[in-house]
Amino acid sequence: MIQINNLRDKIEKHRDIILAAIRRLKKEDPFANEDRAIIVEPATDAASLLGHEQAVILEDKLKSDLKEIELALAKIKDGTYGLCERCGKKIEAGRLAVKPQATYCLKCRKIFDGKK
């Protein structure tokens, strides 16, 4: 049996962690300052540029995770949480315990991953 309140709490905590990580990345991004957006010395700015690129990639991944989390919270609110988006069957409780924001059952996830 799925304990919705426990999973909602877990999802909300995960959301808070992701939001904090995004804020930290933006703060620590060497190119967050508009003055740094222009490369002045290529030799010294190469490391800063690499740091910026890594921050952007990680931020994109975190934003993608955040979208999954927001979708899961919306599904909890509208009563459709725990149903596979592909087949409509219940997502396995063990899967939801590990990844509460899962949108596919294991069978459909494997099919979806196979198409990539």
pLDDT in tens, 56-83: 899 999 999 999 999 999 999 999 999 9
Q: Residue-wise pLDDT tens for the chain (116 aa)?
A: 468 888 899 999 999 999 999 999 888 877 666 555 555 565 656 667 777 788 889 999 999 999 999 999 999 999 999 999 999 999 999 999 899 999 999 999 999 888 75
In 3-state terms the chain splits into helix, strand, coil percentages (rounded to 5) of 70, 0, 30
CA triplet 104, 21, 15: central angle to 5 degrees? 40
Quote the pTM value.
0.76
